[in-house]
Structures are given as C-alpha cells and as structure tokens.
Amino acid sequence: MKPLAPFIIAFALMTGAQAQDVSSNIPYAEPAHERQVLDVYAPPDAKNLPVVFWIHGGGWQGGDKTSVQLKPKAFVEKGFVFVSTNYRLLPDVEMETIFRDIARSMHWVHDHIAEYGGDPNRILVMGHSAGAQLAALICVDDRYLKAEGLSLDSIKGCVPVDGDTYDVPAIIETAETRRRVHHQPQAKFGHREKFGNDPAKHLDFSAVTHVAKDKGIPPFLILYVADHPDTNAQAQRLGAVLSESGISATLFGAKETTHTRINENLGLPDDPATIALFQFVDAALEK
C-alpha cells in the first residue's frame, strides 16, 4: 500500500478474484478546490503499468469521478492503473477553467503515477459524454498541457465515448434548428449557454479546430451510439478530420444501446464496444 498523503483514503477492494488498491480523493492542485481531486485504482504491487486517465460526463455541470461502473475492475485485471478525475463545474467556473483542470490533473498523473505503479509515458485518455469532449480536446489542443509543462508525447491513445461536442458550432446549430422547426422552446441551459455566446470560442473549444499534422496527436478510437443522430454525426466529423490529417482514427458505432448504457457496459467481457476498446488499447500500446 502506498504511503498516505493528506486527504487520501487508501484501501483494498476485492473485485472477484482480483484485488485492487484504491487511493481516493487525492488533490491535484495546491491549494485544491474540493472538486480538484482524483482516484487511483491499481493492482497490488503494480510497477510501470500503462495508465487509463478517465474523465466523467455530466454536461460539464454534474457527474463525479466515482461513477466508473466496471471500468476500474476491467482495466486493473488487464494490468493497468486506472485514474478517475473530478474537475470544477459549470456554472461555478467558465468552460475554459474546466479544460485547465483536466490538464492540471494530468500534470499530477505525470509527476506522481509512478508512485502507484503507473508509467507516466504510457497514458490513454478516455471520457464519456462531456468527458468525451474534454478527452478529445486535451488530446488535440496541446495548449492546455503545454501550460502545465507537458506535451502530447506521453498520450498513447484517446477514446472519447459518445460525445456530441467535437464540433461545437455544429451541435449548437443542429440542436437549435431542431427545436425551432418543431416549434419547441429553446433549451434554457443548452450548448450555447454552456459554451458561451462567442462564435470564436465555439470554434476554439472544438477538437476538430485543432487537428493538424505533426503535432503528436495520438491515435483515436471514437465510440458512439450508432442510432443517435447527434453523437453519430459528431463521431463521423471528428474521425474524418483526424483521418484527413493522417492521424489514425477508428470509429465504432455500438448498436442496440443508449448514451447511458454504452458507458455503463464498458468492461463487460461480451460487450462489443469493450472488445473494440481493448483491441484498440493493445494496438496503441504496441507502437
């Protein structure tokens, strides 16, 4: 078991036949807001293992790092260290502050994950819904990591799961047009309100804006619900932009599922998206 730091709760959980050490509520900033904390799940006696950095969803205004379902167990059993991070939320902070929190959390991982058995040079960034937008953006717009003294070099793969905001102007126009033509009231706290009313920021906060060759952008696996029109369209858009820049992009549309279930089922051995996920991870770590 790792030495305890202030505000860290460490204990061992038995998940089937596999034990995992869990260190909870580790602050990644100094001084740390109550939301600037993360959890680390690791196999006992872990050493130099690849790391999954998970970003929860919740519309940038809710959610929690503890909502990880089967993912820590599944990854720990396959020899990974799994990190789940919190971040500050709307409307208490601006959207860009959330991006900086993610980068700061990754800075902590880079500096300290070896103490928990992880390899800081083999990180896979993943997230669901709002967390998918955050994962994709942090893996293509390197300004946030550079501000923390980091680069994209340590990121070996990116897996955004069923996000609808890789192209923010597109989802704003799509959602608002849909409501307008169907004579429905506009959302009180929709994408426009969350991302601000500045078209320049809408572009700047879109992962597709920052995709370019020779930036060290890692390979992507884009998981999405096949029959969800918005997340499907956004996945296709991000995949096309990555491919046009020569960056490996694999798309997997999960059938007969929902926005919630695609996330909850990740880790089930017979889940098609999980099978695609581990195939991608294995290939990404071989490079």
Give whole-number Cα distances, 169 to 173, 221, 226, 285, in Å.
6, 22, 22, 34
Q: What is the DSSP string of 133-162?
A: HHHHHHHH-THHHHTTT--GGGEEEEEEES
Superfamily of chain region 9-167+206-286: Alpha/Beta hydrolase fold, catalytic domain (3.40.50.1820)
DSSP character for 234?
Answer: H
d(CA 172, CA 163): 14
pLDDT along the chain (287 residues), means of 10: 38 50 97 98 97 98 98 98 98 98 98 98 98 98 98 98 98 97 95 96 98 97 98 98 98 98 98 98 94
Output the pLDDT for position 10. 39
Give whole-number Cα distances, 157 to 40, 138, 275, in Å.
19, 12, 16
Q: Where do the structural domains in the chain lie, given as residue ranges?
A: 9-167+206-286
d(CA 259, CA 225): 6
pTM of the model: 0.93
Output the pLDDT for position 19. 76
Give whole-number Cα distances, 250 to 81, 232, 279, in Å.
24, 13, 11
